[in-house]
Amino acid sequence: MNFFSSILCGIFVVTSINMKHAFVFPGQGSQYPGMGKEHYNNSAFAKKLFEQANEILGFRISDTMFGGTEEDLKQTNVTQPAVFLHSIIAFRTIDDAKPDMVAGHSLGEFSALVANGTLSFESALQLVAVRAKAMQKACEMNPSTMAAVLGLADEKAESICAEVYRETGEIVVPANYNCPGQLVISGTKKGIDIACEKMKAAGAKRALVLPVGGAFHSPLMQPAREELKAAIESTDFHSPTCPIYQNVAAKAVFHKEEIKQNLIDQLTGPVRWTQSIMAMIADGASRFTEVGPGKVLQGLIAKIDKTMEVEGVS
């Protein structure tokens, strides 16, 4: 190989490394009334998948998705399988979809694991159903909530959460690192109220309690974690076709046993979305496709790195 061939080869290798296509999948909160109805009416394949899901879940989730109200869709045991189902149907409408890497925001990890071959559709939906019901029960056992904190450094917000627990014994923890300047905290209702006041006093632009049923991604989800752990340990996982950047790890994960443990830990651990996207970019991602209802992740990725090519498939 001559000098110029070597240079050209080097350019090709660098370009190849820096042109990876990442697929990302949304979580709870991206649902909307009527979601998936168009797919059901216009695609025999989608209709088959919806009916299969109705059978696996033991109720007609398609009826709730197509005709339910926003309140109907906010129920955790409905929201999670609905978003998952919509995401997988959307993914399978993409011709020749071959992700180089995948990630999912909270619940979206299960969609991502179907996309990279780690889980079958049926197994993933069954796990999502277990997860949703377990989280619903945990919410009922421990009245709790979450709040969005805007315009405050993550380190300062983390410090305030620790301070609230130290001073009051009320659980408050960082739950979602969504993008720079946007952090969601999770904990007891009293703890969240105290933390919000402290966040605003520390300079946060907003500290807003969210209309959610419980403290997701916090120690208050421990009962749900145990139920999900048992279900995951009895489910077949396969070697992935490409790495997944999991919420609690924020790095490429290839091994199915590590994937299992991270899925379990996610229920009580934070969603490190900012860190995950940054790791994907560092590993060569230059194009992101959000697959599923809504455009939330597209907006977050644009705020994390505005140079990225971002698109959506719903």
Type of residue at 46:
A
Catalytic residue among 87, 217, 218, 314: 217
39 noted as active-site residue:
no
How many other CB atoms are found less than 10 A from the CB of residue 13? 10
Please give the chain's pLDDT, 314 residues, in tens: 544 444 444 443 444 445 899 999 999 888 999 999 999 998 999 999 999 999 999 999 999 999 999 888 888 889 999 999 999 999 998 888 889 999 999 999 999 999 999 999 999 999 999 999 999 999 888 889 999 999 999 999 999 999 999 999 999 999 999 999 999 999 999 999 999 999 999 999 999 999 888 899 999 999 999 999 999 999 999 999 999 999 999 999 999 999 999 999 999 999 999 999 999 999 999 999 999 999 999 999 999 999 999 999 98
What is d(CA 109, CA 25) in angstroms, rounded to the nearest whole number?
Answer: 7
Contacts of 197 (CB under 8 A, 6+ apart): 207
**DSSP string covering 184-202:** EEEEEHHHHHHHHHHHHHT
Identify each DSSP E strand in 156-272 by its residue range: 172-179, 182-188, 206-209, 244-245, 252-253
Nearest CA among 24, 108, 11 for reference residue 289: 24
Contacts of 230 (CB under 8 A, 6+ apart): none
87 noted as active-site residue:
no
Distances (CA, A) of 188 to 48, 119, 185, 259, 286: 42, 34, 10, 29, 39
Catalytic residue among 87, 106, 144, 276: 106
Q: What is the DSSP letter of 181?
A: T
Query: Could you give the angle at the alpha carbon of 239 between the alpha carbons of 236 and 240, nearest 5°?
Result: 115
Q: What is the DSSP letter of 219?
A: G
Q: What is the pTM of this model?
A: 0.91
Domains of the chain, start order: 3-140+218-313 (3.40.366.10), 149-209 (3.30.70.250)
Contact of 192 with 220, CB cutoff 8 Å: no
